[in-house]
């Protein structure tokens, strides 16, 4: 009894549908006037056609490999079937008992039903692969024709540019456009200029002088309220401020000596004070 090799590819409706669906989406639409869309769009279509053609080549190679393996298995199964058929004609008593050759073939075929089913299944798979191969070849020819059309469009665009035309920059059909800013709210340009002056000179960082200027501006426009001061606690020694030793307090002693030299009940005038300052020695008339 002959069985199909499990290493052989399984050719069924799912296999064929997967290839057909992939070929269906391999479409490249040509523009009526590619010059107005710019060279990038035309170059993108050329690259798209090349991608589809490469994909078709991959399908062609895979189908060819599967077809080769199944054809080889079919030849081997058919050879085994013929050998077993001849052996039954020579050695099987049921087959030899039949009088006519047609009857012998029918009896031998019934006994080799599994082998015959294997051959039939392989033949069906080979026919399916041949059908898929025809579709892949047709798609490849179609994409090659599109490549030729794109080449012709490129040559026509070159001739038009030589005559003075220019490439355009319009978005292609169905391309997403930018947002409509006609109904956008008005932007305060003065505020934007102040922000650019503040952080425009430094990329990603702000200097200390800019921050100080910003804080001063905010304080001018929005002054802060004075914080309430809590009353000082009585008896706290830390609240008294001591006079540093470096301060010269000798002028207090000089004032005390001047006050002691003036008699009680008399006043010191400005003239006396000036004389004491200019000539500190006692006058001889006194």
Q: What confidence tens digit (pLDDT) does each residue in 42-90 have? A: 999 999 999 999 999 999 999 999 999 999 999 999 999 999 888 888 8
**Residue at token pair 């709210």:** 185
Residue 71 is assigned to a structural domain of this protein: yes
Does residue 6 lie in a domain region?
no
Assign residue 75 the CATH number of its domain.
Answer: 1.10.287
* Residue 94 confidence (pLDDT): 85
Report the candidate in 132, 136, 129, 93 with the shortest Cα–Cα distance to residue 111: 93
60: Cβ contacts below 8 Å, ≥ 6 apart = 133, 136, 137, 140
C-alpha 156: how far from chain center:
36
Examine residue 280 and state whether it is found in any structural domain, yes or no. no
Residue 123's nearest CA partner among 75, 63, 62, 65 is 75
Number of domains making up the chain:
1
pLDDT reported for residue 150: 93
What is the C-alpha separation between 165 and 167, in angstroms, rounded? 7
Q: Which two tokens stand for residue 6?
A: 């499990």
Whether the per-residue pLDDT at 266 is higher than 70: the answer is no
Torsion angle of C-alpha atoms 242, 245, 248, 250, degrees rounded to 10: 80
Higher pLDDT, residue 125 or 208: 125
The DSSP code for 235 is: T
Counted residue by residue, the chain has a size of: 286
Does residue 140 sit within a domain? Answer: yes
**4 vs 77: CA distance, rounded Å:** 9
Residue 272 lies in a domain: no
Strand ranges inside the chain, DSSP E:
none
CB 53 within 8 A of CB 148: no
Write out pLDDT tens, residues 210-240: 656 665 665 565 555 555 555 554 444 444 4
Question: CA Rg, the chain, in Å?
Answer: 55
- Is 112 a domain residue? yes
Residue 229, in any domain of the structure: no
- For residue 19, what are the domain limits? 13-25+36-162
**244 token code pair:** 């540093």
| 121 closest CA partner among 173, 188, 73 | 73
- The pLDDT > 70 percentage for the chain reads 59
User: Would the pLDDT of 243 be above 50?
Assistant: no
The confidence band for 107, taking pLDDT boundaries of 50, 70 and 90, is confident
Q: Running DSSP on this structure, what letter comes out for residue 241?
A: P
Q: Is residue 46 part of a domain?
A: yes
Q: Are 95 and 88 in contact (CB under 8 A)?
A: yes
Model confidence over 140-165: pLDDT tens digits? 999 999 999 999 999 999 999 898 88
């Amino acid at each position: 009894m002959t069985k199909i090799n499990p290493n052989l590819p399984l050719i069924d409706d799912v296999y064929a549908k997967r290839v057909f669906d992939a070929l269906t989406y391999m479409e490249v639409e040509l523009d009526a006037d590619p010059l107005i869309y710019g060279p990038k769009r035309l170059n993108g279509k050329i690259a798209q056609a090349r991608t589809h053609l490469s994909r078709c080549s991959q399908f062609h190679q895979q189908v060819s490999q599967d077809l080769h393996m199944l054809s080889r298995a079919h030849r081997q199964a058919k050879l085994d079937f013929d050998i077993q058929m001849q052996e039954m004609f020579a050695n099987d008593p049921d087959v030899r008992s039949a009088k006519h050759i047609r009857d012998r073939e029918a009896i031998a075929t019934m006994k080799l039903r599994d082998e015959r089913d294997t051959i039939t299944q392989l033949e069906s798979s080979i026919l399916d692969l041949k059908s898929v191969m025809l579709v892949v070849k047709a798609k490849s020819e179609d994409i090659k024709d599109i490549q030729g059309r794109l080449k012709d469009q490129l040559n026509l665009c070159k001739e038009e540019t030589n005559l003075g035309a220019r490439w355009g920059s319009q978005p292609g059909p169905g391309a997403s456009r930018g947002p409509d800013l006609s109904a956008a709210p008005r932007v305060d340009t003065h505020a934007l200029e102040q922000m650019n002056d503040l952080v425009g000179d430094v990329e990603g960082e702000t200097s200390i002088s800019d921050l100080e200027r910003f804080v001063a501006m905010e304080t001018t426009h929005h002054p802060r309220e004075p914080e309430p001061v809590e009353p000082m606690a009585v008896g706290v020694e830390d609240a008294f401020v001591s006079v540093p030793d470096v301060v010269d307090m000798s002028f207090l002693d000089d004032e005390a000596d001047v006050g002691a030299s003036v008699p009680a009940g008399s006043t010191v005038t400005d003239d006396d004070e000036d004389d004491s300052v200019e000539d500190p020695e006692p006058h001889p008339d006194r």
